[in-house]
Structure formats: structure tokens, C-alpha cells
Structure 1
């Protein structure tokens, strides 16, 4: 029987090892595929950047040529003289008219400046419009399809293809490009055609009167843009193609020495990179180039032309490092996998031999660990200053640490099975029983702050009530921790009293500095706090509003007293000084670390929702909510309080003023809350008595 189980164990181990090996080789294959895709993605990005750069340069080159001709076509003199020449026929053909001379000089100057003449020609060359000459770069003014008015040296009668394009431009009135073709000098050229319109409109239909035809030798101007600028690669190449029927025609010179327009291949040839580029411009992939080499390529469409730019590199060069890296990964990871499998076998045999010894050692170690942790727990619980105890569901003590027992003056061994009342007293027991029942009922942690009386002393604790399930039954026990924060609580109260005293001192200083606004801060704080309570603000937000209201006039301390108490009209300088009050307040409060946005609320008390306020012109959500409450309370108190330059407003009039500006300057909800406070929460008889007291 033992040999049977041993054989079954061996079979299971062999199957598991085989699965591990299969999974390992599958993971290696996936990782190598990932590395290959990463390298391809890198080349996709590299070729894409190269193609985009060259496509942009070609687009820019085409746009510059058309821009030159369009600027010339819009020349008023050229339009006028061309129109006059079209209307009249010279009576002495052998004598050149002044108009033709001017047009020729204008065209020659433009052509020489922008490369529409063959290099090396003298600028003073002169030809007649009827002389047939051969030039690779030329600029001519043509009418009626083939009637050359004038042009640069070497212009010849338009070819049939060029004549057809000229007639199309004359018919449609739009610029056009005559695709690359071989001229009489066996040079690849491209023609740019731009219509010339009459200076004065002759009829409702605006038709061209002539065409500016500029030809350029692309081997001099265009093909250099395709040259590789990367010395790090040897086989990258960029060329232009176009579709001719079912063929792909290569427009630019190729790396194998093929001249422009001398190679054409079937567009549907299998895996032909140029064929894919014609069908899907922008596509990245691998395929065959014109010489049958495996390449990585991408393509771009050249705007305004039938050209497709192809950027490629031999796959052998591009992926040489990647393939070497993949072979290294395959070999090294396979060796690691086999080594790991060997180690697994060794560990399996070794583990089986030592299994019984390990189990015994584990049991011994767990016993010792349990004993040490029990001792550690006892040491921690007996020496920690927090009060820790455990209650059962009947709220009787199961455990209490020594700190609690000493505080209650009860021996630790006598705490077990006591109830809360016998340990803490009736008053504290009622507080604890209520929280214990709630925690047991909800089955969740609760951490309230509670005040208890212990041995005649009132203490404040951060308490934690933690229900703990007992594994041996479905009953729960309650772990309770009491952390004494009495000193911290007293310090916080002292700090709060000090804060309020400092704020009150600042308010008195403000009232003394501006007696006409005496008690303004206190009144603003009264209404701002009432509005906040009416709107159910959180305690922290309510404290922020109250503090900001008490300090809202702090900026007045930076304004001279004679300006604040002046009864006459303020000068422009004094008005500007008064408008800086929020900025003065922000400077005074900016370095104080308040619990809430007090400084921001004070600085924004004159900001309006429609952006018409000051000092920063904030609007809508840029104005924080405490500042909206402060703005309404401040405005209301200011209106119902007398000033050095006016009497106070009636309460109803002040509310009407705020209501008119609700939604534009003031928050509509805040104004509504103020209405509620004024109508339901303000004793106006006491208010008037208090105001009169301050006035007197």
C-alpha cells in the first residue's frame, strides 16, 4: 500500500513538473513575442517621425511654390497689363510693347528670386514670346491654353498634357499641380498653375484671363528633401510613388540606381510595400521593396498631390539587434527554466525526506511562539498607560489590564466577572453600557470621545469599542480601549479661549480706529453665524465663517483714521486706498495658520458672483462659500448701520437692496437665509438698544 501511494505521488510530481515546463516555455515564447512587438513599435515610431518630417518638408515646399505664384498673380500691375494685352492686338508685332516688357521684367525678377530659372543664366537674357526654347526651370504667363504672353529664358510651347491643365485652370479658376513628368531635356519636372484674374470685373462670372505656369526640376528642388539624414543606419530610404492604372510608379531616384519615373510595378503584387502604401497611406508594416528585400515601412499622403511618401529600412538591419536579443533570451531563459526544474526535483526529494522532521519542528516552534507572544501580550497590556478591558455580551469583565485596575483601585485578579457599575460607578457605567450595546448591535468599530468620572475625577477619553467574534462560539466579546486625552482636551479649550480673546482684542482695536464702524465686526459675525447655522453648515465651516466675520475689518488698521472718519466726499486717492482694505487684511492674515480659509474669506468679502467685485475680480465658483456668507452679512450690517457720511438704512430697505442684487452680486441661497434670520431669529428691540449704546 505504501509503495502504491509512493508511486502515485511520483506520478503526480512528474505531471506537475511537465506542466511547469510547458507553462515556462509558453511564458518564454510570450515574452519573446512581447520583445519583438516592442522593437517593432520602436521602429514604427522612428520611421513615423522620419516620414512625418520629410512629408512636412515636401508639403511646405509645395505651399511655398504656390504662394510665390499666387502673390505674383495678385499683383495689380500684372493683372492690369495682362488685361490690356488681351483686349488689344499690337499693330507692330515686331516692336515689343511697354506692357510686355514690364511683365517680362516682373516675371524674370520673381523667377530669379524663387528658383524658377535654370542656374547660371544671365539675368539680362531676353526672349520673345514666340521663341521655342528648352528650360528645366521656368515661369511663364500663358493665355488661351498655349499662347505664351511672356516668360523666362527657355520656355517652350506647352505640351498637350500641360495645355490641358492650363485649360482646366482657365475654366475652373483654381490653382492646380501638373504631376511629375519628363520634359524634352529628359529631366523630371513639375508644373505649378495659378490663375490670373482681371483687375476689374468684366462680368458677373469671374473668369481667369491668363495662367501663371511655373515649372521646376524636381531633381534639384524636391528630391534632395528625400535624402537620409541618419548616419546611424545604412539601408533607410525615402521615395515618392503614385498610382498609374494598375501600376505603382516610382517618382524619385531609388537606392539601386533606378532613375525617376523609370520603374513601375504591379500595385497588387504580394507583400509589395509600395502597393500597401497606395491602398492605406499611413500604414506601418513589413513587406517587400522594389528590389524584393524584406523591409519595415510606413507611408504618408502628400497633401494637394497624388504622391505617397514611403519611408523604409531593411528588416535585416532594423531587427538585427532585436533578433540577437531574442535568441539570447530564448537560450538564457530556457536554461534558467531547466535549472529551476532541476532544483524543483531536488527540493521535492529533499522535502519528502525531511517532512516529518519539519512538522515536529513547526509544532515546537509554534508552541514556543505562542508562549512568547502570551508573555509579550501580558507585558504590553500590564505596562501600557491606556485602559484596556474585555467584556462579554452581559457586559461583565473578562479581562482588565493593570493600568485600569490600579486607576480603579481594584486588584487585577478581582476585576473578572465584575459589572460596569461596580467598577466605574453608576453614572460612568450608563455611558459605557449605551456605547457597548450600540457597538455589539452594529457589529462594527466605533471610536467616540467620552467623559467619565473615575475616583471622583472627570477624565476625557478617546475610546475604541471593537466587537470580536469568538471562534469557539457564535457569541461576541467587546474589546474596549480608553486613551486619556484630558490634558489635550484642556489645552484645546485653553487655545480656543485664547483665540477668541485675540480676535476680540483685534475687534476692539478696529472699533477704536474707526469709531463710526464700532461694533461692525461683532454685528457682521452675529448675522454671518446665524446664516451659517440656518444653512446647516458643518461646525468647522461655521467656525471659519465666524472668525472671518470677526476679522473682516482688520484691513482698516492700515488706512489712516482721518480717511475712515471723513464726513465729506472722498478723493480718488482716498477711494483707491479704501478699496485696498481686503488686500491689507490679506497681508495681515496671510501668515496665520487658520484651521479653515479665514484669510481667503476676508480677502473676498467684496467679490461678486458676476465678477464686478474687488480686489481680484473673482466670479461664480471662484468665490468661496464662506466669503459669500460674509459678503451678504457685511453688506447688510453696513446698510443698517450709520456711517460718517450717511444715516443707516431701514432693515426692509436693506433687504430689498440685497434681494435686487441676489443672483448677480450675492448668492441667492445666502440672501434667502438672511431673510429667515431677520424674520425669525433677530430681536430688533434688543438690537436697537445695543446699537444706541455703542453710538452713545
Structure 2
């Protein structure tokens, strides 16, 4: 009797594990070294276009598993040599002849004699990630093209342009400055050197004329003034360069980093005697620089929109959700008096706060009923997944941290890290409220819209426990005063 009960329990355990095996969204397999599939789950079968695991088992990976540019023999040689494979990007052939981008993790299983008898592995479909990555790379190429255009533009200007660090060392110098003032061999020579370096070099080459070059001291003095006033300055500088007298109209300003800290000085100069001739060129140059800047901003904005659209293609029931959340979040931030830079960071985070849903199976995102516990745990991973995706895009930092935290709650009951109170960024606290209000006010596959009034009552009832009281107060005030509405 005891053996019978134990056998039943073992059978239930096997059935339970098989259900988990088949429901995991990642493809799992066990194959022989020759490419015969012994075990696989339903996710792998469907990933490759098969209706069932049994159909998949008829496949010979040795012959038809991989894209020709990455044959299975390369996989075998590597796993035999290293014993395991972690995060190998490859392309597998589907039944219809198309290819799916995958990331593969595998391990060689050996018998007692050390002979490899199986390969156990997991395969993740990264097609959408690769497509998004391709889009981002295209945007980066556009950015590099703009940078090259700026260098070309700067080096073809008659005005002199430069940037220096706080020690007066050149970070950038255009060709006009190198030729007219510094007497540098090319635009790379000034980098890391100061005005005094060039002044002393020029005077040393012409000891018979102590006034051969006097711009070293003059430039250093006006740099210090620009740093002192912490704002744009205009100077009329008269001196000698390469034995010639020059009268320059000079503009300088502090150079600041993304955090607003002063890290140096940027400047431009022109010969006043040729001012009329150069005014037209300067206007054209400024217009071109503005166009380049606007194109860069447009490229960055397009990247955001593409990423938001990627989420909507996966979860069409929430189409427009991220955009509406962004509008409400920025309105709350503005009402709370947050500065423009913070509001812009919040806007970007809101527009892509659900980007992590790209890694959630679409059947879970569009499920009309309540989610099972395991499905809910997968959904909860979207904030962490989104932060990982965004963290790879240097421009968007620190948006990744806001996305990571937007499901955290004041009492520590949120996810993924269980942060509480001031551990949660103010931007994430605002995004959390805006997200809930918009979600409750909109239709979902599992319920109709609850309406704004119900949403506001919900955040009020949880103010101070789940949501920031000041954020809740401002949000409710915006709706009830009629200054905001979906």
C-alpha cells in the first residue's frame, strides 16, 4: 500500500513538472550529439513553427537546425571544448524556411566515462530584441553622422571655435583657431595643451620679438572671467599671433555636463575688421548647427516612439497607455514645481515604462481573465526587464532606474526590490500614480473602464500607504479643477 501511494505521488510530481516544463515560455530541449531531439517543451516547438513536440522530434538539427552561416558543427565544437554555452546568439530555421533569432544556453551531459551523451539547453526568442537593437544602431549611426557633419562644419567656418577644461587644456579646436592663433599643425595637436604652451613655443621660436605672440595670457584671463560669472561673456581681445596684430570679438561661456556642473569653457572668436563679411557666414553656421541639433532631437524622439510602438504591438489592448501616462506624469511634475530637466527625464521614462513587456509572452499580455500566480510573476518581471533594455542606451540614463522602480510602493509591498518611502525616486512615485489612474480609467481585456472618479478614489484610499500623499493630492486636484483630463 505504501509503495502504491508513493508511486501515485511520484506520478503526480512527474505530471506537475511536465506541466511546468511545457508552460515555461523559454524553449527547452535535450538532444543527442548527432542532433536527434529526445525531449523538448511546447515553447520550443511553437518557436520553430511546429504544432506539437512530437512533430519537432522528427527534426534533425545536424542537417536543418541552424542558418547556413552558423552550422551546427560550430556549436558542437564549442560545447565539446568548453562543456557549456552561455548566451550564444544564433539563428534557427523554422518549418516555413524563415529564421528566428535566438539566444542559446546549453550544457554537455557526460556519462561515467566522460563521453558526451546529451546536450541539455534552453533557447530564448530574441527576434524582437534584435529588431529593436537594429533600430537603435541605426539611430546611433545617424548620431555619428551628425557628429561628423559638425566637425566638417566647424572646420570650414572662418570663425574660431574651441572648448577647454577647467585647467585651460583644449578639448576641441577647429581649423581656423589652429591656423590663425595657435599655429598648430592640425586640429588634433591642441588637445591636452594650453594657450600658454603655444604662446611660449611661438616666442621661443622668435626671441628677437617678445611681442610675437601675446594671446596666451589674454585668453587665460578671459577664460577665468567666464568661469567667475558662470554665464556667457563677450570680450574684445587685441593682441599678436604669429607676428600679426589681431582684433577679435570673442564669446565665451561655461561648459556644463549633464548634471549641470561646470567642467570647462567653450568659445568662439572672429576678426572684427572682417565682421561685415563674416556676419552672413555666422548666421548660416548657427542655422546649420540648430538644424543638426533639431535632427538629433528628432532622432532621439523617434527612438522613443519606436520603442513605445514595439510595446503596443505586443499588447494592443493598452495602445496609447504609455503616452497618456506621460502626459499625466509631466502635468503632476509641473504642478509640483519640478524643474524642466526632471520633467523631461520623467516624460521619457513614462513613454517607455512598459518596454519590458517585450519579454512577456503575448498570450499573457492579452489574456482576458485573471492571471495565474506564475503568470503574474512573469508580468512583475517587466519593470526589471525594461530597466535592463533602457540601461543599454546611454542617452536615456537615469530613465532605467525610474522604470525599475515604477511598481514600488511606499510601504515596501511593491516590486521588484521592495523599496519604501524615500528609497523610491520622486519620478518613480509620480509615474506609479499616473500609471494606476490611467490603467483604471481605460478598458482592459479582462474588464471595462472603471472611470476617473473610481481611479481617484482608489489612489486617495491608499495615499500614504502605497502612494506618495503629495503626488496623490496634486493628481486629484488636476482632474477635479478641470486642468487635466484624458
Category of TM-score, reference length = shorter chain: 0.3 to 0.5
Question: How does the TM-score come out when normalised to structure 2?
Answer: 0.45
